[in-house]
Amino acid sequence: MGLTSAQKDILDKAVSALHTRGFHAQYPEHPSPAIYGETADADGKEAFKALRKKNFDELGQEGASAWIGEEESPYFQAPLGPKYPSFSTEELIARAEKGFHSWRKVALDDRAAVLIDSLERFSKRFFENAYATMHTTGQGYMMAFQASGPHAADRALEAIAAGYDELNRFPSHTQWEKPMGKYNLLVNKEWRAVPKGIGLVIGCSTFPTWNSVPGVYASLITGNSVLVKPHPGAILPMAIVVAEIRNALREAGFNPDACQLAVDVPSNPIALTLAKHPKVKLIDFTGNSAFGSVLEALPKAVFTEKTGVNSIILDSVEDLDKVIQNITFSVALYSGQMCTAPQNFFIPAEGVKTPDGMVSFDEVAQKFADFTNGLVDNPKAGPFVLGAIQNPMTCDRAVNAAKELGGKVWLETRTIVNPIFDTTRTQTPVVIELTSADKDKFSKELFGPIALLIKTKNTEESVALAKELAETHGAISCGAYTTDAAMKEHIADEMSLAATPVSFNLTGQIFVNQNAAFSDYHVTGGNPAGNASFTNPDYVNRRFTWVGIRELA
């Protein structure tokens, strides 16, 4: 079969984007009717409603031992509906093994063609998937559309491109000619990129597709088969993706079991059993640090994105209001449930330098509370930016934070009413003041809408603390505000030694939380927040082995 000219064009542009690290979007991020069609949103909503009413039977994984699924919508605070086919571990593994031996022999261009086809199919379901994402993760509509749809598809395409690029990087054959004095020794050499075997991709409850598809597509493009094990609270978005991958495989005449969905419920988790199975050679995981570290210790190729403690360093600014507006939005966005959301805001005791002089710590803190309130209470923005809280424990954490941490509370957390779903589980950001002496309190991830304003001796101490936290507890993002060139380099150098990306002086419509495909390495892999990075070459290279075959010519 091979790549169609349209697919080749998509792939070439993606590989090129990898190498320029410039902006590239194959799938438009705006859910606009002009791009996706006048009825796309309404059709997607209807399709989502239909999915809620029946078993999810489009995978074509036959012979299920049961149909299971216990997802709940954080907007409805009621069961989502669909059930998914369930299989024994041995059945999943046996099919994945067969799928592997079929798929590994498929030519690279054919693999790329099938995978790009699956993304094209998926792109026709972005709206349906947006609703599935909203009603599992609690994300607002816009984030659910973008992150779970076009942004995820771009990340998947990035993984395809990275694998394609690596696998074509070195010649697969050469004639090696060594001068031996009186004659030349001639050897025909071949190198095979041998996939590792079965890959397992374990998803999370907050970004079910965006965090899972890079591993899925990276394993598939390099010839491995994949078991997709979503979080039991957020299955539907990835079920749609897996269904379309299987459709693309079938359409091309290949065994669809190169990619299977493996579903569980909270009372009977299957991730560790699958992960430990000797036939499983690759694991991709997004989720909590404790389980991630258990997986990392397995003698397999393991790619993790765990948790971290993200910092914002405030030193000096051009326009304080713009800065506070930007960073409070970062906290409020999806109620702090992004792995890139900032938690610790380090502010010198003497305040923040501005063109109009020093602004005191208290003034900065008050602005932080005011801007947060302004956003939360804006009926056209607040409920949609905050979205819903995926897990009730996240609400509890925010509610109890003030009592457990002590410190002055600059803003209490509360609930708000979502104008569309009045049953929505909400929790607004709590803002608490601590000092640099409270390291035991701010040295852990407090997942959710919790912002800690930490008073430090000076910016040097702020930097030292942000670095130490990143080194010891991990960090996925860091924001820093400084107008001083020497301080900027100091921050960049120190945080880079802690393998933490730094965004300087962000204001306006770009936020520290955001990582773009083809340009930003998401998670560096260099601190405890995770051992892998989207998408540096290791991310695909570790999924196969170069094996040389040679013979005298």
Beta pairing partners, 365: none
What is the greatest pairwise CA distance in the chain?
88
By CB under 8 A, which span of 169-177, 226-234, 263-271, 444-452 interacts with a copy of itself? Answer: 169-177
Looking at 90-98, 118-126, 400-408, 518-526, which segment touches a copy of itself (CB under 8 A)? 518-526
Pair 269, 229: CB distance under 8 Å = no
Residue among 9, 12, 177, 251 that touches a copy of itself (CB under 8 A): 177
| Backbone φ/ψ region at 22: left (φ over 0), alpha (ψ -120 to 50), beta | beta
Q: Binding residue for a copy of itself (CB under 8 A) from 194, 349, 358, 420?
A: 194
Handedness of CA 381, 385, 388, 394 (dihedral sign): negative
For a copy of itself, which residue of 290, 297, 485, 486 counts as binding (CB under 8 A)?
A: 297
Per CB under 8 A, the segment of 235-243, 366-374, 384-392, 537-545 that binds a copy of itself is 537-545
| Radius of gyration of the chain, Cα coordinates, nearest whole angstrom | 24
277 lies in the binding site for a copy of itself (CB under 8 A): no
Based on CB atoms, which residue is closest to a copy of itself, 388 or 529? 529
Which residue among 180, 290, 485, 486 contacts a copy of itself (CB under 8 A)?
180
Task: Report whether the peptide linkage leading into residue 39 is cis, meaning its omega lies within 30 degrees of zero.
Answer: no
CB of 487 to a copy of itself, least distance (A): 13
Question: What is the crossing angle of helices 150-167 and 141-148, to 10°?
Answer: 20
Q: What is the DSSP string of 272-318?
A: HHHHH-TTEEEEEEES-HHHHHHHHTSSSEEEEE-----EEEE-B-S
Whether the Cβ atoms of residue 163 and residue 226 lie closer than 8 Å to each other: no
Which residue among 1, 23, 363, 437 contacts a copy of itself (CB under 8 A)? 23
Q: Does 19 bind a copy of itself (CB under 8 A)?
A: yes
Would you say 527 and 500 are in contact if contact means Cβ atoms under 8 Å apart? yes
Closest-CA residue to 125 (of 243, 34, 227, 38)? 243
Cα(116)–Cα(118) distance, integer angstroms: 5
Q: Are 274 and 87 in contact (CB under 8 A)?
A: no
Least Å distance, CB 535 to a copy of itself, is: 10
370 binds a copy of itself (CB under 8 A): no
Cβ proximity to a copy of itself: between 80 and 309 the closer is 309
With CB under 8 A as the contact rule, the residue among 176, 406, 423, 484 that binds a copy of itself is 176
- As beta bridge partners, residue 311 has 344, 478
For a copy of itself, the binding residue among 55, 89, 123, 519 (CB under 8 A) is 519
Compare residues 66 and 194 and give the one whose CB is closer to a copy of itself: 194
Does position 20 interact with a copy of itself (CB under 8 A)? The reply is: yes
Residue span binding a copy of itself (CB under 8 A) among the ranges 205-213, 242-250, 429-437, 522-530: 522-530
Distance CA(126)–CA(108), nearest Å, equals 27
216 or 502: CB nearest a copy of itself: 502
Token pair of 534, please? 């989207």
The tokens describing 63, both together, are: 């012979």
Nearer to a copy of itself, 24 or 353 (CB): 24
Interaction mask 484-513, a copy of itself, x per CB under 8 A: --------x--xxx-xxxxxxxxxxxx---
Interface map 37-76 toward a copy of itself (x if CB under 8 A):
----------------------------------------
Q: How far is the CB of 229 from a copy of itself (least distance, A)?
A: 24
Instruction: For 232-274, give the DSSP string.
Output: TTS-HHHHHHHHHHHHHHHHTTS-GGGEEE---BTTB--HHHH
Judged by the rule CB under 8 A, the positions of this chain that interact with a copy of itself are 18-23, 30, 166, 169-171, 174, 176-181, 185, 187, 189, 191-192, 194, 196, 296-297, 299, 492, 495-497, 499-510, 516, 519-521, 524-526, 533, 536-538, 541-542, 545-552
